[in-house]
């Protein structure tokens, strides 16, 4: 059995909505995990949110919310995004989860008892944006390089972690463990950090300054520094120290991060593990940054790319393919819709899509959609090295995927697609179809092409799972079987003769620039099946409705009424509302959610409970879908 595989993404800060950068890392983790499923490994894939620290407290304050309500709202945006992108994470961790907090306390105590944590007074330059002290040397013209603000001088007593003790050990570990940090440029960057003296890490914040964190188990007046808390998610999620998952998947961890957080992952984290007596993770995989029009994505520049918008316009698999194919893992990449359209048209519609339709339409045309019988001798004659091409494609693909060179692995698959297209041109099945005497050759050629397509569908499965399934179905295969297993892909002549193929289909339509506008417009059109728009009202009539933002404080099932929940909401004042949403929402997932309430609706009694207001929801065949806000707002805020 190959070694188990455990992929992690960074746990994302909850002070901003998810964007293209978060989507990229998480899709990479999904691709890597699916690839390891192809190898027959046991897999586990973790993502989540990082919810403590100054940053979150300040963001919550800005929105007039408590940190608790705020983190619940933003964390949910991340959790809900992943299924939309066909990301199959095994679990989702939040640093506010009780079991995580308990592990942080346990590890802190262990390191403290071992004598690696001490108390000292410290005066230093502190950047609130980064939540860390800077040395003069690290500043650029006296300013934090990330935030371009001057750090403030802060003097306080704090707890420190003796990282300096482990410097030599870490240099040796990084140098002697092949691919510990990859690609190599980031290994070199980490070693360059370590050439400078390694300062001890300040791992506490006094509660007088910050309360939103995990209290140190050995001093009630301090909370834990957010990075010391966050990094431990990778083991707490597995149930460290005794959990079964921990025993299976640690230390087989493969962390995936962008270059911005190389230092905490490449330096603090291995030292924390060493000091706590936990084995060191397997690999740190570091990728570059997605920029937009050559500059960093940022709210203030207004160039933040929303993953769901791209999915809706171009389709999920095309979007996933573009991200993985276009960025050389490790280097920065520039995002533009023009290059996305270019890739869809050339790689997907032209190369793969055309090959697929050409082959299947010939099977339909010449063999009425039934996989023909082949004669081994004829098959060998007609095969022209295609089987060997497939074999060497898989042999090249596997180590590239394993070593996080996904863009190169896809390049190799597309090389094979090129060989397949050439094979069609060389064998010219339409010519073979003209003569009765070459019918056996025609059958062999089309069967070889179908085998090639089957292998391609397996190889693209990690990146484009929906397309892979669609290809399998149209090749007359059962997509519920693990068709992507590498051992199966290595078999030639897998498709059975006599199999009937379903009607052929187009895998990827070409996108013309003008069409994109149409797709956009279509997405915004109202479906016709809904009731007609009601008669006009005046603005005065509308203003009689008092709509308010409310935060759900409590939710419970009413025992005698299956469809109804009793909610306590905060809309500046506390209210009880009874709502028929129990089929679609579990009570615990509603707590902390922000909803829209009709606040001046005459109270009514439902199931013996007086309901003071009504929640707004879009209701269709799937049931109610609660109306929420684009970003958090203070409870009681009116809607206009
Ligand atoms: N909370 C910390 C991580 C703690 S992990 C123990 C954090 N969060 S973050 O929300 O800022 O996420 C940073 C990560 O988001 C990057 O490392 C990367 O994975 C992803 N990206 C954010 N912007 C990105 C780009 N522009 N391009 C590519 N990835 C980017 O740091």
Written as one string, the DSSP assignment of 495-553 is SPTTPBPPPP--SS----HHHHHHHHHHHHSPPTTSPPPPPP--HHHHTTS-EEEEEEE
CB atoms within 10 A of CB 88: 15
**Which atom of ligand 1 is closest in space to residue 291's alpha carbon?**
26
Looking at residues 499-526, what average pLDDT do you find?
Answer: 75
41 catalytic residue (yes or no): no
Contact yes or no for 568/610 (Cβ under 8 A): no
Choose the catalytic residue: 130, 259, 470, 490.
Answer: 130
19 catalytic residue (yes or no): yes
Give the Cα separation of 295 and 301 in Å (integer). Answer: 9
How sure is the predictor about 514, in pLDDT bands with cuts at 50, 70 and 90?
Answer: low
299 catalytic residue (yes or no): yes
State in Å: Cα 134 to ligand 1 middle: 20
State in Å: Cα 208 to ligand 1 middle: 29
Looking at residues 390-419, what average pLDDT do you find?
Answer: 98
How sure is the predictor about 525, in pLDDT bands with cuts at 50, 70 and 90?
Answer: very low
Pocket probe mutation, ligand 1, options 14, 261, 270, 291, max atoms within 8 Å of Cβ? 261
Report cis status (omega within 30 of 0) of the bond before 54: no
364 catalytic residue (yes or no): no
Among candidate residues 462, 423, 463, the one with its CA nearest the CA of residue 445: 423
Among candidate residues 591, 587, 610, the one with its CA nearest the CA of residue 551: 591
Question: Bigger pLDDT: 193 or 135?
Answer: 193
**Share of residues in the chain with pLDDT > 90 (%):** 78
283 catalytic residue (yes or no): no
State in Å: Cα 551 to ligand 1 middle: 28
Choose the catalytic residue: 127, 202, 382, 447.
Answer: 127
Let me know how long the chain is. Answer: 640
pLDDT value, residue 535: 67
Residue for token pair 């690290």? 138
Give the Cα separation of 461 and 328 in Å (integer). Answer: 19
pLDDT at 620 over 80: no
pLDDT value, residue 171: 98
Contact yes or no for 442/432 (Cβ under 8 A): yes
Residue with the smallest CA separation from ligand 1 atom 5 is 10
pLDDT value, residue 476: 96
Residue with the smallest CA separation from ligand 1 atom 29 is 21
Lowest mean pLDDT among 107-111, 316-320, 469-473, 562-566: 562-566
State in Å: Cα 137 to ligand 1 middle: 24
Residue with the smallest CA separation from ligand 1 atom 16 is 258
130 catalytic residue (yes or no): yes
Range picked from 48-62, 253-267, 550-564 for highest mean pLDDT:
253-267
Lowest mean pLDDT among 100-104, 198-202, 440-444: 198-202
Looking at residues 396-408, what average pLDDT do you find?
Answer: 98
pLDDT at 513 over 70: no
Give the Cα separation of 13 and 59 in Å (integer). Answer: 11
Looking at residues 423-452, what average pLDDT do you find?
Answer: 96
pLDDT value, residue 248: 98
Residue for token pair 């006009």? 536
Choose the catalytic residue: 22, 36, 100, 287.
Answer: 22
Looking at residues 268-297, what average pLDDT do you find?
Answer: 95
544 catalytic residue (yes or no): no
State in Å: Cα 305 to ligand 1 middle: 14
State in Å: Cα 12 to ligand 1 middle: 6
Average pLDDT, the chain: 93
263 catalytic residue (yes or no): no
Q: Label residue 115 left, alpha or beta by phi (over 0 means left) and psi (-120 to 50 means alpha).
A: left
Looking at residues 383-389, what average pLDDT do you find?
Answer: 95
How sure is the predictor about 521, in pLDDT bands with cuts at 50, 70 and 90?
Answer: low
Looking at residues 435-455, what average pLDDT do you find?
Answer: 97
Looking at residues 144-172, what average pLDDT do you find?
Answer: 94
pLDDT value, residue 524: 54
Give 346's contacts (C-beta < 8 A, 6+ positions apart). none
Looking at residues 440-446, what average pLDDT do you find?
Answer: 97
Find the residues whose C-beta lies inside 6 A of ligand 1.
Answer: 10-13, 21-22, 24-25, 50, 230-231, 233, 257-258, 260-261, 289-290, 297
CB atoms within 10 A of CB 74: 24
pLDDT value, residue 238: 98
State in Å: Cα 10 to ligand 1 middle: 6
Residue with the smallest CA separation from ligand 1 atom 24 is 21
Pocket probe mutation, ligand 1, options 15, 21, 92, max atoms within 8 Å of Cβ? 21
**Which atom of ligand 1 is closest in space to residue 260's alpha carbon?**
17
In a 10 Å sphere around its CB, with 0-12 CB exposed, 13-18 middle and 19+ buried, how is residue 316 labelled?
buried
**Which atom of ligand 1 is closest in space to residue 12's alpha carbon?**
10
pLDDT at 526 over 60: no
Burial letters for 233-243: b for 16+ Cβ neighbours within 10 Å, e otherwise?
bbbbbbbbbeb
pLDDT value, residue 529: 46
Choose the catalytic residue: 61, 247, 296, 422.
Answer: 296
pLDDT value, residue 527: 41
pLDDT value, residue 386: 97
Choose the catalytic residue: 100, 144, 440, 593.
Answer: 144
pLDDT value, residue 516: 65
**Which atom of ligand 1 is closest in space to residue 289's alpha carbon?**
27
**CA-CA distances (angstroms) from residue 381 to 431, 442, 443, 494?**
17, 12, 12, 18
């Amino acid at each position: 059995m190959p070694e188990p595989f455990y992929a992690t993404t960074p746990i994302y800060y909850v002070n901003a909505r998810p964007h293209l950068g978060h989507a990229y890392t998480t899709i990479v983790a999904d691709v890597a995990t699916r690839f390891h499923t192809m190898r027959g490994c046991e897999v586990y894939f973790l993502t989540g949110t990082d919810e403590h620290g100054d940053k979150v407290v300040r963001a919550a304050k800005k929105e007039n919310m408590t940190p608790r309500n705020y983190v619940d709202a933003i964390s949910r945006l991340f959790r809900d995004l992943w299924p939309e992108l066909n990301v199959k994470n095994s679990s989702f961790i939040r640093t506010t989860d009780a079991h995580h907090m308990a592990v942080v306390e346990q590890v802190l105590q262990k390191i403290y008892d071992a004598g690696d944590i001490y108390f000292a007074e410290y005066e230093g330059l502190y950047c609130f944006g980064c939540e860390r002290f800077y040395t003069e040397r690290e500043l650029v013209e006296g300013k934090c390089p990330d935030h371009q603000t001057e750090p403030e001088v802060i003097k306080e007593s704090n707890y420190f972690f003796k990282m300096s003790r482990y410097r030599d050990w870490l240099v040796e570990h990084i140098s002697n463990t092949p691919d510990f940090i990859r690609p190599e440029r980031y290994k070199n960057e980490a070693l360059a950090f370590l050439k400078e003296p390694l300062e001890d890490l300040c791992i506490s914040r006094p509660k007088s300054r910050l309360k939103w964190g995990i209290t140190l188990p050995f001093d009630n007046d301090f909370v834990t520094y957010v990075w010391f808390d966050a990094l431990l998610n990778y083991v707490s999620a597995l149930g460290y120290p005794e959990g079964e998952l921990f025993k299976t998947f640690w230390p087989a961890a493969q962390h995936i991060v962008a270059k911005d957080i190389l230092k905490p992952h490449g330096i603090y984290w291995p030292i924390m593990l060493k000091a706590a007596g936990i084995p060191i993770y397997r690999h740190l995989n570091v990728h570059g940054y997605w920029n937009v029009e050559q500059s960093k994505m940022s709210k203030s520049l207004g160039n933040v790319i929303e993953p769901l918008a791209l999915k809706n316009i171009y389709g999920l698999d095309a979007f996933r393919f573009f991200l993985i194919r276009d960025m050389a893992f490790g280097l920065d990449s520039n995002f533009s819709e023009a290059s996305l359209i270019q890739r869809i048209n050339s790689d997907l519609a032209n190369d793969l899509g055309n090959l697929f339709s050409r082959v299947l339409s010939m099977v339909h045309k010449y063999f009425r959609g039934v996989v023909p019988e082949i004669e081994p001798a004829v098959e060998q004659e007609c095969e022209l090295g295609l089987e060997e091409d497939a074999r060497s494609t898989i042999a090249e693909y596997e180590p590239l995927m394993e070593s996080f060179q996904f863009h190169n692995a896809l390049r190799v698959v597309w090389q094979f697609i090129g060989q397949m297209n050439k094979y069609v041109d060389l064998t010219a099945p339409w010519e073979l179809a003209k003569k009765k005497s070459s019918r056996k050759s025609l059958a062999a050629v089309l069967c070889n092409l179908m085998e090639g397509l089957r292998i391609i569908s397996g190889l693209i499965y990690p990146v484009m799972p929906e397309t892979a399934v669609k290809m399998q179905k149209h090749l007359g295969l059962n997509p519920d079987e693990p068709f992507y297993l590498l051992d199966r892909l290595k078999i030639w002549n897998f498709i059975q003769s006599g199999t009937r193929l379903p009607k052929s289909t187009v895998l990827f339509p070409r996108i013309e620039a003008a069409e994109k506008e149409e797709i956009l417009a279509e997405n915004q059109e109202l479906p016709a099946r809904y009731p007609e728009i009601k008669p006009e009202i005046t603005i005065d009539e509308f203003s009689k409705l008092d709509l308010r933002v409310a935060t759900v404080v409590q939710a419970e099932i009413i025992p005698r009424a299956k469809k109804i929940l009793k909610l306590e909401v905060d809309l500046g004042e506390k209210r009880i509302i009874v709502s028929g949403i129990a089929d679609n929402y579990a009570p615990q997932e509603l707590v902390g959610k922000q909803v829209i309430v009709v606040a001046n609706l005459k109270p009514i009694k439902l199931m013996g409970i007086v309901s003071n207001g009504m929640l707004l929801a879009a209701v269709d065949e799937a049931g109610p879908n609660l109306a929420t806000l684009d970003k958090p707002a203070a409870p009681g805020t009116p809607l206009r």
